[in-house]
Structure 1
Amino acid sequence: MTPLTPAQMTTSTPAAGNHAHPYRHSVPTLAAIGFLAYYVVVMCHEVLGHGVAFRMLGAHHFVLTSTSIDSSDMLAAFAPGRLGYRFINAAGSLSTILLGILLYPLLILAMRKRANITLRIFLWLVVAVGIFHGFCYIIYSGLAGVGDWKEVIAFWPHQTLLRVLEIVFGTLICTGVVRFFAALFSTFPESLTRLALVPYAAATFIFCLAGLRIPNGRYLMLISVLPASLMGQAILLFVAPVARRLRKESAPEEVVPISPTALFFAALFIVIIFLTAPGVHFMMP
Structure 2
Amino acid sequence: MSLLYPRLLPNETERRFHLLHETPPARHGTIVANHSQRAVYAATGGRRITREELDQLRDGILRAAIAQGFPTPLSITQGSNFDRETARVLYKQCLMVPGEAAQRQVWAFLALVLLPDVCAWRWPADPSRGYTADRFKGTDLTRHAFARLWTRAHVLHDPMAEDPFHLLDVLGENDLDQIMARRSALAATPALVRAIVRSHQEDQADRSVPSQQVFRQSLMRLLRLTAFLDLDSASEAELGHLVRRVRAEARAALSA
Q: Indicate the structure with greater helix content.
A: 1
The normalised TM-score by structure 2 is 0.31
Mark the structure with the bigger radius of gyration.
1
The normalised TM-score by structure 1 is 0.28
Higher relative contact order (CA 8 A, sep 6+): 1
